[in-house]
Amino acid sequence: MTAKRFIWKTIKWILVTIGVLFVTLVLFVAGLYIYSEYFWQEWSPARIERITGIRVPKYEIIDYYEGSRGFTGDYEDRFIFEFKTMPSDEMFDEIDRMIATGKTGWKRDGNKYSFSVTWGNGFPTPKGEREEDDGMFSITITRGQKEGMITHGAW
């Protein structure tokens, strides 16, 4: 093998390796973007208030259950959270008033309160959410308890 041919094969091997590494990096970054944009969504108290109509205390997530992912992007995740302060009776009284109007997604079963909304494919989009996303959101809280659950996903 001549020196010229050896140099050409080496350069070719280096370029192919760089190309494969570049494509791998692009796919990795794109995957992270898709995961963070569509699958992992932050449900801040302000976002919850905008959707549900009630102000909830700050909370921290204590457990997370990632649901299965469909090939079309469908998923359903669950967060178990704990409020940093006990929710006030006034907050639950406000929910009771909203339930009495019958025009909200809130429901009550004893001391357990739940809110649920689905949007996209003809269902109206909650204020502040993107119309092109088909989503669902629900929150369950109990009067006198600091823990609750958020379920969210796409369908």
Read off the tokens for 131. Answer: 């119309």
The radius of gyration of the chain's CA atoms, rounded to the nearest angstrom, is 24
Q: What angle do CA 112, 130, 142 make, to 5 degrees?
A: 10
Backbone φ, ψ for residue 62 (5° rounding): -105, -20
Mean predicted confidence (pLDDT) in 46-69:
87
Mean predicted confidence (pLDDT) in 107-111:
95
Residue with tokens 């699958």: 39
Return the pLDDT at 31. 74
* pLDDT tens-digit series, residues 86-101: 999 999 999 999 999 8
- 81 in Cβ contact with 148 (< 8 Å): yes
Residues pairing with 154 in the sheet:
75, 135
Domain range summary for the chain, segments of one domain joined by +: 1-40, 42-154
- 79 in Cβ contact with 148 (< 8 Å): no
d(CA 133, CA 151) in angstroms, rounded, equals 16
* pLDDT tens-digit series, residues 20-39: 999 998 888 877 766 555 44
Return the pLDDT at 42. 72
Mean predicted confidence (pLDDT) in 32-61:
77
